[in-house]
Amino acid sequence: MPFPIHRPRRLRKNENIRRLVRETNLSIDDLVYPIFIEDGSNIEIEIPSMPNIYRYSIDRLSKELDEVSKLQIPAVLLFGIPSQKDSVGSDTWNEEGIIQKSIRFIKENYPNLYIITDVCFCEYTEHGHCGVLCNHDVDNDATLENTKKQVISHAKAGADMVAPSGMMDGVVKAIREALDEEGFTDIPIMAYSAKYASAYYGPFRDAAESTPAFGDRRSYQMEPANKREAIREVSLDIEEGADIVMVKPALAYLDIISQLRNTFDVPIAAYNVSGEYSMVKAAGKLGWIDEQKVILETATAFKRAGADIIITYHAKEIAKMLKEN
């Protein structure tokens, strides 16, 4: 019927009615907080391009984990920075490697935290690429063999979930078979299924010391212009046994999240990456935006697009704001 019968503003009149008809609700339960852990001792270094985000050694990690636990953030995603790197990233499957030691520490001292481990090699190799090199490119199948060793090592240390991020063909199948053969049938896989070769990753490379020594990662990460390819990648990962699929980055790829939500009936994670985080922080510092409102609005957009899980460096800030409200 014509105006004035339909007046949509009736349902916007005050906060109570807006709450009642709100279509998308953001929760602390949606959040995963990434943490960078460096081998060594007495390390607490703020990452220059990521304000308020630090690299910690295990002996300083409790400062971060106490706050995460108090805020009731359910899960952490661990990234390791080893003391020694080599051509194949062998510290990734070392029983005394930085991630393995970190898992055991968290399990012993914070048993209620759910531990997800990033499964990749770029932080652990001298060349900064995501696997074994052959003729200046990553050898897909040789990298799969080392990935199997990495995930089994993480599982034995006590990881709750593994998250392969290297975009190797067949990696989910390789991981599922390796875990099952070793009796870790209950450990789920969160696949970085639609991981784009993005310019938004810059600050992360400061954090994880993972800048490639040459070239880039476009031969294994996805072309930013492609949408149909994301559907194919996700479909393959689900067929291979992925329990959760991820879109990374999130903000510039909301259309991908939405398309995947309309296509697949599996949990979807959105990774709100370092560049997205740092841009908000920079604009907030300059007073160009209301930083807190932008953080919540952006996270809500991920949910509205169809994400079930939000991996974000803003997780503590979001949790505090949600508790206050």
Cβ-contact 75, 114 below 8 angstroms: yes
Burial 159-175 (b: 16+ CB within 10 A, else e): bbbbbbbbbbeebbbbb
Q: Which of 148, 195, 281, 316 is catalytic?
A: 195
Out of 85, 248, 303, 316, which one is annotated catalytic?
248
At residue 189, what are phi and psi to the nearest 5 degrees? Answer: -115, 125
Told to judge if 195 belongs to the known catalytic residues of this protein, a careful annotator would answer: yes
User: Residue 117 and residue 103: Cα distance in Å, rounded?
Assistant: 9
In 3D space, the residue among 129, 131, 132, 242 whose CA is nearest the CA of residue 179 turns out to be 242
The pair of structure tokens assigned to 14 is: 């005050």
Strand pairing class (114-119; 161-164): parallel
248: annotated active-site residue: yes
Q: What angle do CA 10, 11, 12 make, to 5 degrees?
A: 95
- Helix (H), strand (E), coil (C) string for 218-235: CCCCECCCCCHHHHHHHH
Which residues are designated catalytic?
195, 248
